[in-house]
Amino acid sequence: MKTLSNARVSELFEHYFAVAPVAVVKAPGRVNLIGEHTDYNGGFVLPAAINYHTYIAFAPRADRSLRLVAYNFDNELVTVDLDVDQVDDRNASWANYVRGVVQEMRTQGFALAGGDLYIAGDLHSGAGLSSSASLEMALIRALTALSGEQVDPTQAALMGQAAENNFVGCNCGIMDQLISARGQEHAALLIDCQELTARAVPVPADWEILIVHSGVKRGLVDSEYNQRRQQCEQAAAYFGQTSLRGVALEQLLAAEGQLDELSFRRARHVLTENQRTLAAANALAEGNLAGLIKVMAESHASMRDDFNITVSAIDTLVNILADAGEGKAGARMTGGGFGGCVVAMAPATVIPQLVAAVELYYQAKTGCEPTLIRAKASAGAFA
C-alpha cells in the first residue's frame, strides 16, 4: 500500500472539497509485541504504535453536520447529523465506526461542531494492525479540534472502545485504542489494562520490528473472539472473580482437574501470558535478546495450544522466521488471531535474512502470499 503524509491528505481534501483544509491529524495503527487476549482480562500488554496511520484533513462547516469522505472506500461520502442519536448502519462498515464514535462523544457530553472531513489511511486493513482503532482516535482528535474541546487521551481510548463494544458489536479490550492514543516514538508501552497505566519501554536503537502479514484473511474473528472472552469470564467466575486478574497462576494450577479442561487452558494462557509480558518488558528494557526470544516463542505456543487462535500458515511463518533468525530473532503471531500478522523482533542486521527466508519458503510451503512491513515504534495520536 502507498504511504501517505499530511501534505498528501491535505491535497486530497482540497481536490475533493475545492478548498484547503484547516489542519490534518493522524492516528497510528499498532503491533502488539506480546500480551495477547490479556487486555479484557485486566492483564498486561506490550504494544507499539507503528508508522502507518489513518489521516484526517478537515475544515469547519457553518451547520451542525459532518460530511465525511473515505479515500480507501472509493471516496464514499457519509453525512452525519450531530444533533440526532446515531443509528447503527450494518451495511456501511467504516461509517459505523464514525457513527459509534459520534454517539459515544454525544453521550459523554461533547458539544461537537460541524465539519468536512477527508479520511485516508495507509494501514493494511484486515491485517489486524488496528486500522479501526486508528480511525476512531483520528476522528476524536479531528472532532475535538473542530469544536475546540479538550479530551484526555485515555478518555479518547475508552470512547473508541465503547464505540466498538456498544455500536459495532465487537467486545474488544482497551489495548488498540490506548496504544493508538498514547504510543511513543522509539518505544513500546507496557500497559496495565486494569489500572489503565502505561510505562514506555524503549526499543534498543539497533533493533527492528518486522511485521509479516500471512495473507490469511482473518475469518470468524468476531465470533471466535467474543467466545474466547466468554470462556475467560467463565474461568474467572469459577474462582469468584469478575476478571482473571484476580486469580493467581498457582491458584489456577491447583484447580487443574476440577475446573473444566477448556476453561483451564484458556485461563492458563492468560495468566502465563501476563507473566511473559512483564518478563518481555524487562528483557526489552535491558536489551536482553535471548530473554525476549524465549518468551515470544512461549507466547506463540500458548496461543496455539492453550488458546487455540493460530492457524497452520501462521505457525509455519513463525517457524520460518525463528529458524532464519538462528537464535537472534523473536517471532510470534500478533493480534486477535485466526490469520493476520506475525511480529518479529531482531537486531537490524538480522532482518535481511528473515526477509529472504519468508520470500523463499513461505508461499512455497503454504500457498499464501506474504506482505512484509518494516515498522518503527511511533508516537500516538495524542502523544
Residues found near ligand GLA in the complex (CB under 6 A): 32, 36-37, 39-40, 172-173, 175-176, 335-336
**In the numeric block, which cell numbers belong to residue 318?**
513463525
Q: Which is nearer to ligand GLA, 146 or 343 (CB)?
A: 343
61-94: b (≥16 Cβ within 10 Å) or e: eeeeebbbbbbbeeeeebebebeeebeeeeeeeb
Compute the least distance from the CB of residue 194 to ligand GLA, in Å.
14
Residue 298 pairs in a beta bridge with none
Compute the least distance from the CB of residue 301 to ligand GLA, in Å.
16
Q: Is 346 in contact with 360 (CB distance < 8 Å)? A: no
Q: Which is nearer to ligand GLA, 186 or 229 (CB)?
A: 229
Residues 6+ apart with CB under 8 A from 305: 265
Compute the least distance from the CB of residue 244 to ligand GLA, in Å.
13
Compute the least distance from the CB of residue 90 to ligand GLA, in Å.
19
Dihedral, CA of residue 116, residue 148, residue 26 and residue 124, to nearest 10: -60
Q: Is 323 a catalytic residue?
A: no
**Candidate list 39, 116, 122, 176, residue with the active-site label:** 176
Helix (H) or strand (E) holding 25: strand 23-32
Give the closest residue to 230 by CA, choosing from 65, 380, 41: 41
Compute the least distance from the CB of residue 83 to ligand GLA, in Å.
30
Q: Is 28 in contact with 50 (CB distance < 8 Å)? A: yes
Q: How far is CA 24 from CA 27, 72, 143, 196, 337, in A?
A: 11, 17, 12, 28, 33
First-to-last C-alpha distance (Å) of the chain: 25
Residues identified as active-site: 176
